[in-house]
Copies of this chain bind each other. A is one copy, B any other.
Amino acid sequence: MLGNFTYVNPTKLYFGENALEHLPEALADYGKRVLLVYGGGSIKKNGIYDKVVSLLQKAGKEIVEDGGVMPNPTLAKVYDGCRIARVGNIDFILAVGGGSVCDYSKALSVSIHCEEDPWEKYYLRMEEPSCQIVPVGCVLTMVGTGSEMNGGSVITNTETKLKIGKVFSEKVFPKFSILDPTYTFTLPNYQMVSGFFDIMSHILEQYFSDSDDNTSDYLMEGLLHSLIHSSRIAVKNPLDYEARSNIMWIATWALNTLVAKGKTTDWMVHMIGQSIGAYTNATHGMTLAAVSIPYYRMLLPYGLPKFKRYAINVWGVSAEGKTDMEIAEEGLARMESYMRELGLVMNAKELGVTEDMLDGIAEGSFIMEGGYKTLTKDEIIQILKESMEAVK
């Protein structure tokens, strides 16, 4: 059943090849001084940086730079960025990059004029901003996180070893995001397929909850069909615009809040995956891939009707002459074949996970309660062990 909810998503999207041309128009309503935020500098190599700077200059904007945002943006970097933004007296933050750059920019947007410590206020006490919010816009160069159209902002405090995701209200959502699928073409295969599975996992972790009938589940089945279809094309030809553009669009809708409306969500695969990441620094999507099949096999008996539905509606399993359990298991088997076809990591050892880490990874996995079963620490260890025994 669709539970009661509130939905709003004010982010304006400019989608398609050369969508960057909309940048001056998108910035027209905002002030002159733009903080240009980016990551390790790949945008300087692929020419996106030059294009952005040229468009900003043409639009009469003054640029203050804040580069070097790391894959897991740190609180120390946020403090630094605030200083740069205050000295530069900036009016607008333009994030050019992937999810980390967007997440970091949102953290800045609510911290620059914050009179309290932003870490304590937003990430520990989970409060909403009461100060002036500096508006953010994004030019997306990598897909997966959905940060371009939501209020999510994950920041890591390296001193306390806490990585916390805050989901801000719509006032902190990017004002606009520019999505050019061709910007994703240069990503190496390993990162590309890892991103595909991150998107799939976002959908599945919202799909596998509740037993009631809910339109959101049907929307997710549509997104999954499109993702499976397009990812199979993209893995053979990464330059296929049709496939890459569909995937960029799916990634946005997989995590911009729509498909979670009116239902509970699981997110346990992300919790275990993130804990693996903390121990191994492995690529995010691959950590999800390595635990998904053991996790869903463990969950199956507790959510059998949904796993049966998943098998039939998403993987086209024929129900004829089979028990519900057989149908559901065939669905997961097809999912596993698809994952291997994509070249995803199915064994946690390949990510550097060793026996002596298991206890720590399990301990570090935040236990979520929205799925079909609340895991125990021992069950998390069992999932990790099964992954380590999986065929590579």
Contacts and interface: CB of A to CB of B under 8 A. Distances in A.
Interface of A: 1-19, 22, 170, 181, 212-215, 217-223, 225-226, 229-230, 241-243, 245-246, 249-250, 253, 261-262, 313
A333 to B, nearest CB: 22
Contacts of A246: 2, 213-215
A171 to B, nearest CB: 12
A2 B218 contact: no
Contacts of A19: 4
Please state the number of chain copies in the assembly.
2
A17 B262 CA distance: 12
A13 B6 contact: yes
A219 B223 contact: yes
Contacts of A12: 6-8, 170
A313 B226 CA distance: 12
Given A2-B181, A215-B246, 8 more contacts: A4-B17, A8-B10, A15-B262, A16-B262, A213-B243, A218-B223, A218-B226, A219-B222
Contacts of A9: 9-10
Nearest to A312: B316
Contacts of A4: 15-19
11 contacts: A1-B242, A6-B12, A6-B15, A8-B10, A8-B11, A8-B13, A15-B262, A212-B242, A215-B230, A215-B246, A245-B262
A88 to B, nearest CB: 29
A361 to B, nearest CB: 35
A22 B6 contact: yes
Nearest to A5: B15
Contacts of A16: 2-5, 262
A10 B13 CA distance: 12
Given A215-B223, A218-B226, A222-B220, A242 B2 contact: yes
A246 to B, nearest CB: 5
A225 B8 CA distance: 24
Nearest to A229: B213
Nearest to A246: B215
A350 B156 CA distance: 67
Nearest to A224: B218
A6 B1 contact: no
Contacts of A181: 2
Contacts of A6: 12-15, 22
Contacts of A221: 222, 225
Q: Which 6 A-B pairs have the closest CB atoms?
A: A4-B16, A222-B222, A8-B12, A218-B226, A218-B222, A10-B10
Contacts of A226: 213, 215, 217-219
B222 A15 contact: no
A3 B242 CA distance: 9
Contacts of A215: 222-223, 226, 230, 246, 249-250, 253
A349 B282 CA distance: 67
